[in-house]
């Protein structure tokens, strides 16, 4: 029996809620990012997803809300957020941290320092780890 190689492509789907952007009556655009083309974060934004994200951040008038694992080498996106904050836009979000209070993405500490309304899931992860440990389950970091 011949074995088949199955290739899977992981697509990043981005949903960003930005006030002052598209009106409720406008169409929603779904942007997909292929890791085969844009496989690593870069300091400049060249993917359709990245360009659209910066455009939406620049259009924001009152607030930006997001959830993401972290940020690494995304200078244009970071600067767009800084400029939005300077315009008076409220930046709120949640980023991932493990039970050691660490984040895999190297630019995340800079993001957290610049925007005090961005929180992490660290406390929730600690509670989950304690519950698992109490139930005798393995706790992964």
Query: What are 75-132's pLDDT values in tens digits?
Result: 999 999 999 999 999 999 999 998 899 999 999 999 999 999 999 999 998 998 889 8
Are 94 and 119 in contact, with CB atoms under 8 Å apart?
yes
More reliable by pLDDT, 10 or 99 = 99
Report residue 24's pLDDT band, with 50, 70 and 90 as the boundaries. low
Which pLDDT belongs to residue 78? Answer: 94
Which pLDDT belongs to residue 138? Answer: 82
Are 90 and 64 in contact, with CB atoms under 8 Å apart?
yes
Which pLDDT belongs to residue 106? Answer: 92
Are 136 and 99 in contact, with CB atoms under 8 Å apart?
no
pTM of the model: 0.72
Q: Work out the widest C-alpha separation in the chain, in whole angstroms.
A: 64
Which pLDDT belongs to residue 9? Answer: 42
CA-nearest of 52, 47, 59 to 18 is 59
Does domain 12-134 fall under CATH 3.30.530? My reply is no
So where are the chain's domains? 12-134
Which pLDDT belongs to residue 2? Answer: 43
Cα separation, 141 vs 97, in Å, equals 10
Which pLDDT belongs to residue 36? Answer: 77
Cα separation, 63 vs 118, in Å, equals 12
**Sign, Cα dihedral of 63, 66, 72, 73:** negative
């Amino acid at each position: 029996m011949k074995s088949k190689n199955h290739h899977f492509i992981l697509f990043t789907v981005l949903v960003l809620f930005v006030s002052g952007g598209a009106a409720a009556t406008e169409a929603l655009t779904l942007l997909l990012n292929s890791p085969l083309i844009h496989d690593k974060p870069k300091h400049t934004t060249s993917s359709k997803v990245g360009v659209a994200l910066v455009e939406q951040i620049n259009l924001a008038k009152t607030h930006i809300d997001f959830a993401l694992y972290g940020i690494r080498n995304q200078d244009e996106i970071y600067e767009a957020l800084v400029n939005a904050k300077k315009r008076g836009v409220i930046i709120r979000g949640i980023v991932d941290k493990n039970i050691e209070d660490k984040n895999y993405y190297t630019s995340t500490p800079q993001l957290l320092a610049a925007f005090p309304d961005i929180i992490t899931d660290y406390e929730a992860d600690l509670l989950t780890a304690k519950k698992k440990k109490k139930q005798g389950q393995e706790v992964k970091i």
